[in-house]
Amino acid sequence: MLSWKLPRLLTVQQVPKVFHEDSIICGYRSPRSSALDCVLSLFQMTNETLNIWTHFIPSWYFLWRMMSILISPGSLYDPFMWPLLIYLLSCCIYPLMSTFAHTFSIMSTQARHICFFLDYGALSLYSLGSAVAYSAYVFPDRWVNSSFHHYFVPWAVFNTIICTAISCYSRFPEETRPRLSKVLRTTAFAYPYLFDSIPLFYRLFLCSGGDCTHNAVLTLHFWHTALAFLTGFLFSTHLPERLAPGCFDYVGHSHQLFHVCGIVGTYLQMEALILDMNLRRTWLLENGFVPTISHTVGAWFLAMTITLLIIAVFSWALYWKPSPPKKNKRL
């Protein structure tokens, strides 16, 4: 009869510094785990278990939502639906990449960096997917067809490329200059979200008058925005574990809460986008520009291609080491 032996867990003193998590003392997996060990660890309580499951399960929900729209008659050939489909594709990819990263990042130091390069790239592409959908459905009436509206998606593509590079680079000074690493990574995640949300923030907090697109969806947008800021707060502060190191190693630490708030926020964002799309469809088709391949599928796949190239370059840099200078031998 076959029996599976679950991997032994370690303390923070037993793993290299690159694997340390702020204020997490116990529950670490071996930094030399095999792929099988990584998979088996999903079924034992470690300090990563809930990080993995809180993203793995929702990714299948988002996939189901995307497929239900794809199989509906005519949706694939309706340009007005393309931004939503690109957004939903992004929603499927980023939690799956996060699941992959948290599962297999303990195989080696290089594997850890590469796994999180992929995670960061997926988050940047999710930000671009949000920008594509916001451009199509969220802009207030008075901004539709403005210069900012026309350049919004190309600018978001540029943000995706730059922020992927910054977040990947942030892993290199992580051990020697952890504060710089944290600032770079937080900036790389926060900046594209703030840029994407400019039209939404304007609708929520600044716009007044009849052409501000005040409708029933604003409540959902507000709660999504509140969760987004809470997610950023949790990521940057490492609360509550920083207040009581060792007490939240397995359940309740900031990265778990960060994942939960992020997924719930994405769900609310998705529902708000679908509602905005349905409520404003007639007006947008009459007064706005019809989404094109270049501003939807083309922009997203261009950014994905460049993102993968950036990840490949940074991954190569992990293994490249300059050869030591040769000493001149005296005869």
- pLDDT value, residue 51: 96
In a domain, 154, yes or no: yes
231 Cβ partners below 8 Å, 6+ apart? 258, 261, 262, 265
pLDDT, tens only, 159-206: 999 999 999 999 999 988 999 999 999 999 999 999 999 999 999 999
Per DSSP (E only), the strands in 111-262 are none
In a domain, 181, yes or no: yes
- Tell which wins on pLDDT, 32 or 264: 264
Residue 44 half-sphere exposure toward CB, CA atoms < 13 A: 15
Beta bridge partners of 200: none
In a domain, 7, yes or no: no
In the chain, the number of structural domains is 1
**Would the pLDDT of 1 be above 70?**
no
- The domain in which residue 67 lies consists of 45-219+285-316
Q: Average pLDDT, stretch 272-281?
A: 95
8 Cβ partners below 8 Å, 6+ apart? 30
- pLDDT value, residue 325: 53
* CB contact at 8 A, 153 and 135: yes
DSSP 8-class letter at 28: B
DSSP 8-class letter at 38: H
In a domain, 21, yes or no: no
In a domain, 257, yes or no: no
Q: Which of 57-66, 132-141, 246-255, 317-326 has the lowest mean pLDDT?
A: 317-326
In a domain, 270, yes or no: no
Residue 10: which of 18, 19, 2, 23 has the closest Cα?
A: 19
- Tell which wins on pLDDT, 170 or 211: 170
Give the Å distances, CA to CA, from 102 to 50, 228, 239, 267: 10, 21, 20, 21
Rg of the chain on CA atoms, in Å: 22
Residue 241 half-sphere exposure toward CB, CA atoms < 13 A: 25
In a domain, 186, yes or no: yes
Q: Tokens standing for 286?
A: 């009459």
In a domain, 243, yes or no: no
pLDDT > 90 fraction of the chain, expressed in percent and rounded: 87
Determine the residue type at 102: H
**Would the pLDDT of 112 be above 90?**
yes
* CB contact at 8 A, 137 and 277: yes
Sort residue 238 into left (φ over 0), alpha (ψ -120 to 50) or beta.
left
The residue written with tokens 């399960």 in the block is 57
Residue 128: which of 303, 322, 311, 277 has the closest Cα?
A: 303
- pLDDT value, residue 4: 65
